[in-house]
Amino acid sequence: SQPCWSEYLMTRIEQNMVVNCTCPISECRAQPTTAFIYSIVSSEEIIAKYEKALLRRYVECCSNLTWCTNPQGCDQILLKDGLGYGAACSKCSWISCFNCNFPEAHYPASCSHMSHMTCAKCSHGFCWRCLKPWRPNHKDYYNCSAMVSKAAWQEKRFQDYNERCTFHHHAREFAMSLRNSISSIREMPKIRNLTFVLDACKVLEQARKVLAYSCVYSYYNQDTESMDIVEQQTESLELLTNAL
């Protein structure tokens, strides 16, 4: 009956199980069509949830589509093809990495560098791709066993780079907080234009981001001949950023 179908479909939608759900009769594998669901469910709120479920399923099925990875939340759908490195979300301006599971672009560090993550609070090491503990014998696509070995005999050096990286991330958060505060102040009457200060805060955010991921890059590439130049450029950027 229609009331039974309505209750059944509304429950499936509320439980986020409506996609590919079948007839409640156990021996029947028929799936309700979108037109049928529209004809049965009258609640606009439930229909809106159903349409969101359809959209999520569509994005998951398309290899060239993805959601914006902004951890603060963004419902923008991004097209991977043709974006290239450094393309920002048109809605929130977040820059995502489409080559690995790390939630933001991490230049100059490579994707293999970012697979080894460390909690800034408890120093637990884990793999970003599978969330398994990094030690003692984790293995994944990026041949991380070699990285683990390197970290084992360079523990002090690892901690130094990790602390520097964490510092720059915290400083970046401060710059973002400062920009938000200034944005609210500039709305007050009799306050002169503060656009130049907002621009400075944006530069600070970007500089701190580059410095944070430069720590990752430097840690894993210390033995290369070009690292002297990279370290000099990083040191120069850090001095200028601190001054700003």
pLDDT digits (tens, 9 = 90+) for 194-208: 788 888 999 999 999
Co-location of 123 and 229 in the same domain: yes
- C-beta of residue 106 within 8 angstroms of C-beta of residue 114: yes
Co-location of 143 and 193 in the same domain: yes
Q: Is the peptide bond before 32 cis (omega within 30 degrees of 0)?
A: no
For residue 96, give the DSSP letter: P
Integer Cα distance of 20 and 37 in angstroms: 12
* pLDDT of 209: 92
Integer Cα distance of 162 and 219 in angstroms: 9
The tally of domains found in the chain comes to 3
Co-location of 137 and 72 in the same domain: no
* pLDDT of 12: 85
pTM: 0.51
pLDDT digits (tens, 9 = 90+) for 167-194: 999 999 999 999 888 888 766 666 667 7
- C-beta of residue 80 within 8 angstroms of C-beta of residue 66: yes
Question: Would the pLDDT of 82 be above 60?
Answer: no
Domain membership flag for residue 111? no
Segments forming the whole domain that contains residue 76: 62-105
